[in-house]
Structure 1
Amino acid sequence: MLVTITLDSPVGSEINAMDLSHLLRKHPEKVQSFDLPVGTAHVFYPHRTEDRTTAALLLQIDPINLVRSKRFRGDSGILDYYVNDRPYTASSLTAVAIGKVFRSAMTGVSVSRPELASTALPLTISIPVISTRDARGIDLVRRLFAPLGWNIEQDPIALDSDFPQWGDSQYSSLVLRGTERLDVALRQLYVLLPVLDDSKHYWVNDDETQKLARQGQGWLEEHPERELITRRYLVHQQPLVALAEAQYSASGQSADTQEPAGSDDNATADVPLRVQRAQSVLKVLKDRGAQRVVDMGCGSGALLRRLQADPFFTRIVGTDVSARSLELAANTLHLDERSDAQQERITLLHSSAVYQDERLNGFDAIILMEVIEHLDLSRLPALEAAVFAANAPRSVVVTTPNAEYNDHYPGLEQGALRHDDHRFEWTRDQFQTWAHKAALEHSYVVSFEDIGPAATSVGAPTQMAIFYKEQA
């Protein structure tokens, strides 16, 4: 099993590509070998110049010893056979080797090159064989790596090159190109290679949730496929998946980011409300055929990242009144690392929902996801004039808390709002009264949907209004 990491020195840059060896803390002039429980790992440098340096990690696995060892029998059962793909394809075995051999590099600390360790570098990662165990393998690679800013080259491997009519195998070669800190890139590989393989060679327990949180810090929290990654990384063990999601939710600051108690809907109880909300909005946009969209009040870019990862959306604009939020959104989206075409597809604008901004005219949809409750009630007419009258998109999607549901949030005092910055929170009747009035005044039709697990008599935690113009 082979993984290569290449550092290129951009023209005019002061980066010396040979410093890759300092970041990896592996001597560049000799082959180094490391005995691991899964086999033997070798690190060497097949190419080393100031302009380009490549480090290679070669993992040699003894499949017979692996099968005979009870310690490394995974839940998938694939190691029950003496003939298997473990010596050849990237998997949890590769992740273990990365974690052991490059442990120091994964900390992001370098004594000899401290500034370089904290710098996003132009990297190329090549993996000759990855597993794509389901029919969505090509799409899965894109869903995992594209939101992280990687440019992807994936070539399916034929089942038998002498018989092309047999089609492709479940394996592909993969090349990732992008600009990222080396420690972050290594941690992403550590987590995502087992996710692609959808198998682990060792027993998974509660410790894995802590490992996932540690290695995913800084990039996994806002990944649009976080739920899929968590589920596959924890080998579909639902109690561990729920534990991991609880740890994510615990980092939230407001009641609205916590999961309500007393849910009557077990089908959605393990999916955080903020995720259900984003998924519901994206579904509405697709149902309405809205490919050119504005996320008004985008904050740090959580919804923008989901929009960015979906090629259905061809033009995306995020707006916010806070310049700091726009900076965070730019970092979330890795905009400075995107190609010219990608940067043209998504734009961040300093703008307010209550002021008319002609730059937002002509879009298919405007999204106000958890925005209106942050405005004083007296400012809502200005928002209506800006969004419904001036911008006049074909669709407007509005979500807001359902105040009737607040009693289901543990620790939220009677009559308190879910967030310190909320100016109001509406009941279902109040929200629908406002929405019907706005729709009537601006020639829209409006419908309503619940988001989240509904409770008897009080509805769901989030309410959504979908405004749309009827086709002529």
Structure 2
Amino acid sequence: MQLTIQASGKDVEVISFLLAKNPNNIYERNQNGHLVRMFYSKFTEEEVEVTFFVTPDPIELSRNSSEKYDITSYINDREFVVSSIFCTFLRSALGTALNGKPKEEYASWVSHAFPFKFEFGPLASNLSDKQILDLFEPLGYEVTIAYGDADYNLNLKSKSSARYITIEGLTTLQYGLRQLFVLIPVLDNYKHYYIDQKEIEKVERYGEGWLDHHPKREFILQKALRFKEVYSLVEYEKDNGGTKKSKKDNINVRLNDLRYEKIIHYINNLAKRESIVDFGSGEGKLSNRLGFVSGIKEILAVEPSESATLKALKRFEKANQKEGFLLPTTIMGSLFYYDERLKHKDVMILCEVIEHIDENRLPKIMKTILNDYHPGNLIITTPNQEYNQVYDMAEGYRHPDHRFEWTREEFYNWCNQQNEDGKYELTFDGIGKEHEHYGYPTQMCLFTKKER
């Protein structure tokens, strides 16, 4: 991954002070095993060229994605191209320029515009060349898109799909970098970190002065914040003079919260709900909420990840200080291994779990659940692949660890196949804001054991 910054004109050498990087020194930093380098290839009174390289450590990336002892680890090749991860690694090196906080004697140069050229790549993006032009040209840049050469013995294709982007225009260093730090993750198809209120604030801060006037503003927010329930919060606050959303407003609730609310709604309407198994409980967010539901006497939070379980324990410990909370029992376990303790529970939950498992392994898991554990009720939620059109996702999944995402018909057929012996009655539902053509963003099925 690399970013090259070129600038020309009178007093252009002041850029070294805006970057807080001495042109006589090679900048090299190790950030948690990932190497960030910078050097000036040109530095004269009228021309400056500086390049930043990022060399990630794939092993460290894998460890960071799931912690050292987890069995949920994976490596994604997008970590080796310009992406949100690239921006994360560079943020410290470019912090002075991004924040516009050089030494006091150079502060006036923060708002000074130079003829800049920014080059970055390789880029792996599902956006078309036209969509990329539509992102940068309204900002006044001339855009060049180049494809890398590929030497394939089988002559499968003449050019690499990786692209290298060059934008040129008159701008300040701070503006140019802030625009890149918003738009580079837009070009990429996913963000590697959790998207929350802090991420909204970062986009608002870096987008100040240009994003509100961009003709593709909504598209940028959709891609930068990924989920409509998050980016629509920006619209809500903008329309209300910057007023932060109150919980009482019940507007633009995050999709994850809507899932939990719908699951709890179904549980509250069950005749038997004393014992609950939350499979793939993660950091314990759903189990934590279940702890406040009346009528429940046992919650088993089953999770294979040690790091996630530790976070869940901290969450439960905090909630346990409140009145009326039922402390969940954490179990380090997996859907792939039978556990006698999970038999004959009133409710078993798989909330956004099955899509993280290879499809060919699902039949065995469902056989274990329905034939061995015999839960009174089974609740399954999973993404609705059709709804990705609403998120303007051309191809790919909502999370890089998803092994598949099903259409409504595929999910309906699959659930019925698991119930071939007819022991359960199936109820299908949707979660989130319904689209006229694509349905709900999350699809859900409730398996209810028939009384004999």
**TM, length-normalised to structure 2:** 0.49
